[in-house]
Amino acid sequence: MIHRECGVLKTTYEADMGLYPLPIAKWTVAALGVLFVVVIPLSLHEYYLSVANLVWIAVIGALGLNILVGYTGQVSIGHGAFMSVGAYTAANLANRLGSPWPVNLLAGGLMAALIGAIVGIPSLRIKGLYLAIATLAGQLIIEWTINHVTFISGGVQASIEVARPRLGPMVLSSQRDMYYFLLVFVVLGIAGTMNLMRTRVGRAFIAIRDHDIAAEIIGINIFRYKLLAFAISSFYAGVTGVLYTYFLGIANYEQFQIGVSIDYLAMIIIGGLGSVLGSIFGAIFVTLLPIVIRYAMEAFGGIFFAPQTVLNLIPNLRLMLFGALIIFFLIVEPEGLNRLWRNIRSYFRVWPFAY
């Protein structure tokens, strides 16, 4: 993250392969820890904490999609649907069996992983746009199924209420409780992704993305690893769906429609494909953008437009900005916000020696 690497020499392979190879980076992590564990949750108002919670949920989902799209190079427009699989699995378990949230969370993730792997089967034969269409079909089929099979959807308006998660005797009811609850999974999600990507399985994913023939020749079973990428990515999606359901207190398929799949693609494209930090940036950006737009329009829109026009503009402005940003990042800066960040950082990296 923020660090300088002048004069650092590593003497063991363990140290050389550490996640934070520079000692100063540990301080950065500690500072971020204080910021996110103490400063933000204790100083922000409930409303802002609920926004932070939406960001946390998005971070986990974006990490998952980036594992599949950014790291393994397999396009998917089904991420929203995989979230709904997790959401409805958990909601059904919670309501029918009264099982506790850890069980529901795990089951939601695993069920999504299974469905995700099945939707990923065509990836053996098709790539790019065709795979995008195939996963889109998966999205629509899952949406339809949840909406129409009352055993899954719970019937009325295809939504199922769930009780707030409990920790022992404590019910996590405030936004601050949820903040800490979600933060745990964000940290696990980030650490899991970073560790995955620096070991055998993650390297195999990147190898498949970069050169599938070379990947085969060194013994990587492409089909198995593509399905594995779909499964892991969908596991993240499923967990995201479960967390979102606990956050809202209700599982509702409208929260996981195709637009959500597109939003998540926007996050990783804008943030940076194949990058953990990029997933985080993208999740923050895409979650905050509509809120910022609304505030800006409410504050200044009246200067230029009639009040009714302002209300109509807000949702459309969001779409237009997304579209423009996706095109900008795809064409001008394929590595996304993460790259812009790295450019800034590399300037300070060897500071004060400018070379």
- Residues in touch with another protein (CB under 8 A): 13-14, 16-17, 191-193, 195-196, 198-204, 206-207, 210-211, 213-222, 228, 232
Q: How far is the CB of 200 from another protein (least distance, A)?
A: 4
Phi, psi of 20 (to 5 degrees): -115, 80
Please, which residue, 13 or 353, has the CB nearer to another protein?
13
Q: Token pair for residue 11?
A: 């003497």
CA distance 132 to 206: 19
Please, which residue, 137 or 206, has the CB nearer to another protein?
206
Residue 57 CB-density burial (10 A; 0-12 exposed, 13-18 middle, 19+ buried): buried
Please, which residue, 127 or 203, has the CB nearer to another protein?
203
CA distance 170 to 35: 25
* 120 DSSP 8-state letter: T
Q: How far is the CB of 19 from another protein (least distance, A)?
A: 8
Contact at 8 Å (CB) between 278 and 271?
Answer: yes
CA distance 310 to 289: 16
Contact at 8 Å (CB) between 247 and 163?
Answer: no
Please, which residue, 168 or 219, has the CB nearer to another protein?
219
Q: How far is the CB of 217 from another protein (least distance, A)?
A: 5
Please, which residue, 55 or 273, has the CB nearer to another protein?
273
**C-alpha closest to that of 234 among 102, 115, 103, 90:** 115
Phi, psi of 171 (to 5 degrees): -95, 130
CA distance 232 to 113: 6
Please, which residue, 154 or 202, has the CB nearer to another protein?
202
Please, which residue, 221 or 343, has the CB nearer to another protein?
221
Please, which residue, 175 or 193, has the CB nearer to another protein?
193
**Which amino acid, 60?**
I
Contact at 8 Å (CB) between 64 and 233?
Answer: yes
Q: How far is the CB of 215 from another protein (least distance, A)?
A: 8
Q: How far is the CB of 62 from another protein (least distance, A)?
A: 17
**Which amino acid, 109?**
G
Q: How far is the CB of 204 from another protein (least distance, A)?
A: 6
End-to-end CA distance of the chain: 20
Q: Compute CA distances 196 → 17, 238, 339, whole Å.
A: 13, 18, 21
Please, which residue, 14 or 169, has the CB nearer to another protein?
14
If DSSP codes are grouped into helix, strand and coil, which group holds residue 159? strand
Q: How far is the CB of 338 from another protein (least distance, A)?
A: 15
Contact at 8 Å (CB) between 153 and 146?
Answer: yes
Q: How far is the CB of 220 from another protein (least distance, A)?
A: 6
Q: How far is the CB of 349 from another protein (least distance, A)?
A: 14
Biggest CA–CA distance in the chain, Å, is 67
